[in-house]
Amino acid sequence: MREFTFAIEYEVGSDPIMDVFIDHPSVVAHSLDGFVTEDRFWRIERISGPRSALDRIEEIRFDDTCCGESVTERDCDATRFHDVLERSSNELVLYTYLTDIRGCESVHTLAGKHLPRGLIFETRRRESTHWWRILMRSDEKVGVFYDALGARLAAGLTFRMGHLRDASGWRQDSLATVAMPEEQEVALRAALEAGYYETPRETTLDEIAAELSIPRSTLSYRLRQAEAQLARRYAGGDEGNRWLE
């Protein structure tokens, strides 16, 4: 298997779904997509973030007048089916199936046109960036796909190349997200960006707390809660049992 990776950057107002990610920096999404041809594909996407952002994404997805797939100026004409597989206050899992796609220029349809059958996509979205990883049996026509994608991008979208190489293995956690309250995520991101987890540490809890305008004790509590969730996700041993429940 070969893998091709790239990213597409979105300016504000260029895509309704991506606008939600831009407006809510704590929102993150991972998807697994397959059965890709020129006229059909499916996707399972796990999104974590505040309730208001999840509500907006769900609203857009279920609005058949809103495309949300095309990367050109031309919206996709297709038969759409969406279903909510899981929903909580801070996590949303959506199933999407598009068929009878006509006149559409999306990453999926362009890949289905130029690349071999049996494609698998892994994607990640955060803020203004949508990252893509395509697994394929052969990269014989990947140059044609690259040229077609780059030449057709709508105004406000920018292509950023990743790599083309032998697939580096299956990312079994590609749909795994850690859903945590927004205040915990804000604290964790602030600590990461300030270098709190570097060795040696580049900042202190007091400095981060002052930056966030919260008490040191509150910051410490939020970080402990966030770290506990990350540890459970990484080392928890009974995730597989959910298949048997």
How is 65-80 classified by DSSP, letter by letter?
T----BSSSS--EEEE
Going across the sheet that includes 157-166, the strands are 77-87, 91-102, 41-48, 28-34, 120-126, 129-136, 2-10, 157-166
Tell me which residue of 155, 147, 139, 203 sits closest to 10, measured CA to CA.
155
Same domain flag for 137 and 224: no
Contacting residues for 151 by C-beta, under 8 A, at least 6 apart: none
Mean pLDDT of 45-55: 92
Give the end of a domain, one of 166, 197, 218. 166
Tokens representing 168 are 């580096």
142-175 confidence digits (pLDDT tens): 999 989 888 888 889 999 888 888 887 655 454 4
> Is there a single domain that holds both residue 23 and residue 144?
yes
pLDDT level of residue 232 (50, 70, 90 thresholds): low
Same domain, 150 and 191: no
In a domain, 143, yes or no: yes
Last residue of a domain, one of 136, 166, 196: 166
pLDDT of residue 169: 62
Predicted confidence (pLDDT) at residue 100 exceeds the cutoff of 80: yes
Tell me the chain's radius of gyration from C-alpha atoms.
20
Provide the pLDDT for residue 171.
Answer: 54
Domain end position, chosen among 166, 194, 216:
166
- The per-residue pLDDT of the chain, averaged, comes to 84
Pair 135, 193 in one domain = no
The residue count of the chain comes to 245
* 104 and 220 share one domain: no
Give the residues across from 87 on adjacent strands.
92
In a domain, 15, yes or no: yes
What is the pLDDT, as a whole number, of residue 170? Answer: 58
Can you state the angle between helices 51-61 and 16-23, rounded to 10 degrees?
Answer: 180
Range of the domain at 208: 182-236
Q: How many domains does the chain have?
A: 2
Q: Tell me if 176 is assigned to some domain.
A: no
